[in-house]
């Protein structure tokens, strides 16, 4: 689907403001891979840029929240993150305009560098778990109301809302819901106590790129301050990262004993996301993980 003329004009104006001189968008090229938004490379007289567009199903504040998350990761200055140029709406189209980062070959130290850099990112902290604003994971809204301890935040703002959503949609049976209710009282004992860590929040293998110098590049975040094992568990959910990643992370900032055994506990949230979005086989995977703890 081609971009509308009015959106092209709006993007050209954003780019002109960004570079400080007139920018002409010569043509756009669709980029595949996204399931929520359409994406395009914009070829201009000032180089190549990248834009994500969401049409008639656009969620108000969706790209505003993504832009906020990307900027928080950029400010941490530990991993490369695309620079946001602008976001907004044009008629029925929401858009997020960013720098274009060309791909490069993955170097021999890619995974180790990634692990060390993620450990540095996780050292960015704040007094409370959560965030000052809500955002999204996939198309599901994340409520990030700050809490003093992780177990309370995880229960109130991650598990309970999605268990209720899935139950109301008849995707979870009463037995699974009851197991979750039994789990809530154990969360404070299951998680080791740590300071809130700045998390990517949706760190599976589809949400990073390899940059032109072979560096890891973070995209599509669901940022908040949470327990750092959540990011680690997410990396393992759909195939896992290279072992060099985990070795380098643990060398830079060792995870607490038992972190591997807690992977399924942390995975309950992303599995609930997938149950609510896709249903099907994710219910069985969720129940298997849940039964390890209750």
Sequence-distant contacts of 250-254: CB under 8 A, at least 24 apart: 250/115, 251/115, 251/116, 252/115, 252/116, 252/119, 252/120, 253/119, 253/122, 253/123
- For every one of its 294 residues, what pLDDT tens digit does the chain have, with 9 covering 90 and above? 689 999 999 999 999 999 999 999 999 999 986 668 899 999 999 999 999 998 755 576 899 999 999 999 999 999 999 999 999 999 888 999 999 999 999 999 999 999 999 999 999 999 999 999 999 999 999 999 999 999 999 999 999 999 999 999 999 999 999 999 999 999 999 999 999 999 999 999 999 999 999 999 999 999 999 999 999 999 999 889 999 999 999 999 999 999 999 999 999 999 999 999 998 789 999 999 999 999
Q: Locate tokens 């602008």: which residue?
A: 86
Residue 127: its pLDDT value, please? 98
8 A C-beta contact, residue 159 and residue 269:
yes
**Cβ contacts of 106 within 8 Å, gap of 6 or more:** 210, 214
**Cβ contacts of 1 within 8 Å, gap of 6 or more:** 30, 38, 55
pTM: 0.95
Give burial (CB, 10 Å; 0-12/13-18/19+) of 153: buried
Residue 262: its pLDDT value, please? 98
Element housing 209 (H / E): strand 208-210
| Nearest to 171, CA basis, from 180, 162, 179, 184 | 162
Q: Which residues belong to the active site?
A: 202
| Nearest to 95, CA basis, from 106, 84, 87 | 87
**Cβ contacts of 57 within 8 Å, gap of 6 or more:** none
Q: State CA 152 to chain mean position distance.
A: 21
Would you call 64 helix, strand, or coil by DSSP? helix
Residue 125: its pLDDT value, please? 98
């Amino acid at each position: 689907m081609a971009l509308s003329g009015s959106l092209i004009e709006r993007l050209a104006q954003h780019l002109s403001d960004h570079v400080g001189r007139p920018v002409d968008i010569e043509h756009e090229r669709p980029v595949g891979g996204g399931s929520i938004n359409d994406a395009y490379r914009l070829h201009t007289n000032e180089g190549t840029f990248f834009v994500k567009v969401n049409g008639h199903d656009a969620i108000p504040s969706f790209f505003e929240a993504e832009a906020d998350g990307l900027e928080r990761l950029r400010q941490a200055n530990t991993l490369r993150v695309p620079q946001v140029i602008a976001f907004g709406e044009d008629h029925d189209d929401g858009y997020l305009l960013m720098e274009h980062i060309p791909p490069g070959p993955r170097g021999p130290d890619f995974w180790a560098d990634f692990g060390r850099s993620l450990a540095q990112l996780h050292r960015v902290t704040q007094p409370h778990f959560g965030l000052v604003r809500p955002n999204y994971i996939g198309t599901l809204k994340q409520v990030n109301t700050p809490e003093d301890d992780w177990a309370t935040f995880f229960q109130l703002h991650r598990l309970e809302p999605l268990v209720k959503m899935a139950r109301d949609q008849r995707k979870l049976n009463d037995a699974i819901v009851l197991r979750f209710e039994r789990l809530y009282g154990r969360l404070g004992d299951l998680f080791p106590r740590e300071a809130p860590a700045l998390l990517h929040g949706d760190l599976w293998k589809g949400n990073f790129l390899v940059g032109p110098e072979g560096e890891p590049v973070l995209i599509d975040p669901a940022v908040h301050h949470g327990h750092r094992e959540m990011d680690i568990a997410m990396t393992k959910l759909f195939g896992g990262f290279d072992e060099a990643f985990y070795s380098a992370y643990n060398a830079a900032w060792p995870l607490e004993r038992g972190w591997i055994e807690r992977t399924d506990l942390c995975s309950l949230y992303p599995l609930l996301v997938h149950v609510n979005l896709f249903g099907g086989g994710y219910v069985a995977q969720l129940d298997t993980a849940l039964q390890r703890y209750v």
